Amino acid sequence: MAKALYGHIGQAPDKRLLEEVVQLRARVRNLETELAELRSREDEIEHGHVEELMRLQEPALT
């Protein structure tokens, strides 16, 4: 059993697996960047609506 485990540990990593890990990490980075941009855009839109509401004149009570 020890020899089997030692042989497993000593093997070189599968090239396809390494390429897939690299691609997945790049995809995660892209999605994180996209999420940050969307959150920023959402904050800008929300801030713009608040400023727009602040500019509205309130009707005078008579």
Q: What is the pLDDT of residues 36-61, one digit of tens each?
A: 999 988 888 777 776 776 776 776 66
Residue 4 lies in a domain: no
Residue 26 lies in a domain: yes
Residue 49 lies in a domain: yes
pLDDT at residue 45, as a whole number: 78
Give the domain range for residue 32.
13-55
Between 49 and 4, the more confident residue is 49
Distance between CA atoms of 6 and 30, rounded to whole angstroms?
38
Copy the structure tokens of residue 25: 């990490």
Query: How much of the chain exceeds pLDDT 90, in percent?
Result: 35
Residue 5, classed as helix, strand or coil, is helix
Residue 1 lies in a domain: no
pLDDT at residue 11, as a whole number: 67
Residue 61 lies in a domain: no
Residue 60 lies in a domain: no
| Amino acid identity, position 10 | G
Question: How many residues are listed for the chain in this entry?
Answer: 62
Copy the structure tokens of residue 54: 């602040």
Indicate the number of domains in the chain: 1
Residue 6 lies in a domain: no
